[in-house]
Amino acid sequence: MQGPQRIVVLNPKGGSGKTTIAINLASYFATRGLTPLLMDFDPQGSSMRWIRKRPPTLPEIRAVAAFERDTRLTRSFQLRAPEGTGRVIVDTPAAVPSHGFPDITRDAHKIIVPVLPSDIDIHAASKCIADLLLVAKIRRGDNRIGVIANRVRRNTLVYQALMRFLETLGIPVVATFRDSQSYVRSAELGIGIHEMKSYTVREDLDQWQPLVEWLEAGASPVLEHAGGAMAAGAASAG
């Protein structure tokens, strides 16, 4: 797979936090000078609204409203990554059918599945990961799929149930994000938590470190097996 690293944030279950993770990934890469391209496939257009709020003085984030069809352009031209793009982040819509997984994950270096701690979300995540393995033909050994336990409150029974479930999947838990108002505040301002005053979001930034390590382990177009980073991420997420 050539070109910039492509990261797909996917879970057909609505409300799992896909857009929050996608826009904060874009913000993270922008602060590191990697000029990300944020592709919004969700007809709700939340990522595009966030981009429009973004202060022009901040590092560049390119964006494509991929949910719109421009009849003047071919689809491949509309969705191309412009020269100089360092990372591509794909914000997928809710209710993507399983037969659509091969298309939306094609050329993805990493696929992030955010999961909330609830019975309904756990069931949906189980089906999503099964479809990634069986329908999209993603191989476990490629270390391309990672789960984020999202909006969790530690020391609750439902959190413990979520972590037990994730352990059974054989897919790494690459981060555990707390239920934090920092994400709400940053989204309202058109920025990411990596662009907020660090002392106000220290705990949130610390929780991103295992995810960043997992992504960077596969940043090369040649996929690498990142067993060490994966284990470290799972350990610090747990």
User: Looking at per-residue confidence, does 232 or 45 come out higher?
Assistant: 45
Residue 182 pLDDT exceeds 70: yes
In three-state form (DSSP H/G/I as H, E/B as E, the rest C), the secondary structure along the chain is CCCCEEEEECCCCCCCCHHHHHHHHHHHHHHCCCCEEEEECCCCCHHHHHHHHCCCCCCCCEEECCCCCCCCCCHHHHCCCCCCCCEEEEECCCCCCHHHHHHHHCCCCEEEEEECCCHHHHHHHHHHHHHHHHCCCCCHHHCCEEEEEEEECCCCHHHHHHHHHHHHHCCCEEEEEECCHHHHHHHHHCCCHHHCCHHHCHHHHHHHHHHHHHHHHCCCCCCCCCHHHHHHHHHHHC
Rounded to the nearest integer, the mean pLDDT of the chain is 88
- CATH label, 5-237, candidates 2.60.40.1120, 3.40.640.10, 1.10.10.60, 3.40.50.300: 3.40.50.300
What share of the chain in percent tops pLDDT 90? 73
pTM of the model: 0.87
Residue 1 pLDDT exceeds 60: no
What integer pLDDT is reported at residue 222 of this predicted model?
33
| pLDDT tens figures, 4-33 | 999 999 999 999 999 999 999 999 999 999
What integer pLDDT is reported at residue 82 of this predicted model?
82
Instruction: List the chain domain ranges.
Output: 5-237
What integer pLDDT is reported at residue 2 of this predicted model?
67
